[in-house]
């Protein structure tokens, strides 16, 4: 199903896979990113996180038939004098796979929407990740995100936020984990931006 057909439509069977040549021709789409659908302040994001933390969506069930898995990741330029600042150049990639076969991938270019602040990553990376996923020609059945979800200190990390905004089930796979004080073996204490 394409993004345009997503609104109000049920799941359709998986479309025929494109040829390898079609995959290579359509592999990278570069676009500029708008941040209009994401909160622009820590206070606004905290309100969204509070609402998402209390939501109880239906659990996703693995379909019996083959299904499309999407994945997304964002990165920022290295080596600059000022890192972790708003406006820093960034790139986000997204890909679709069925089984072990990559069907398509996209890359979008944009800028960080906010400074780096633990717990407020949606302000910095959300719009870039949304643009990368929406640039995919098909809607995934489930989306893997390099960010926290329910394991976020406020129980509503970027993975959950992105899934709610796109209307997709998401699975978070953060690079670093938050470790609440006194639980487990902390590699990093849970410290989050103000809310």
**Extents of the domains making up the chain:** 19-54+66-172
Enter the DSSP assignment of 175.
Answer: S
Q: 179-190 pLDDT, tens per residue?
A: 555 455 444 445
Out of 32-41, 113-122, 124-133, least confident range: 32-41
Q: Hey, which residues does 109 pair with through a beta bridge?
A: 91
Average pLDDT score over the chain: 78
pLDDT of residue 37: 78
pLDDT of residue 94: 98
* Percentage of residues of the chain with pLDDT beyond 90: 38
Q: What radius of gyration do the chain's Cα atoms show? A: 17
Fold category of 19-54+66-172 in CATH: archaeoglobus fulgidus dsm 4304 fold (3.30.2170)
Specify burial of residue 10 (Cβ count, 10 A radius: 0-12, 13-18, 19+).
exposed
């Amino acid at each position: 199903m394409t993004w345009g057909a997503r609104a109000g439509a049920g799941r359709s069977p998986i479309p025929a896979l494109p040829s390898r040549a079609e995959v290579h021709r359509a592999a990278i789409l570069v676009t500029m990113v708008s941040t209009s659908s994401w909160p622009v302040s820590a206070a606004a994001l905290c309100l969204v996180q509070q609402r998402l933390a209390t939501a109880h969506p239906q659990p996703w069930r693995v379909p019996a038939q083959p299904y499309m898995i999407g994945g997304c990741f964002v990165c920022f330029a290295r080596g600059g004098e000022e890192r972790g600042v708003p406006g820093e150049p960034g790139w986000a990639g997204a890909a679709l796979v069925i089984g072990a076969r990559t069907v398509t991938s996209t890359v979008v270019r944009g800028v960080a929407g906010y400074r780096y602040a633990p717990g407020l990553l949606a302000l910095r990376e959300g719009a870039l990740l949304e643009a990368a996923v929406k640039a995919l020609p098909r809607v995934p059945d489930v989306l893997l995100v390099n960010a926290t979800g329910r394991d976020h200190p406020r129980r509503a990390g970027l993975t959950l936020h992105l899934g709610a905004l796109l209307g997709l089930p998401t699975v978070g796979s953060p690079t670093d984990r938050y470790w609440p004080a006194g639980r487990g073996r902390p590699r990093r204490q849970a410290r989050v931006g103000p809310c």
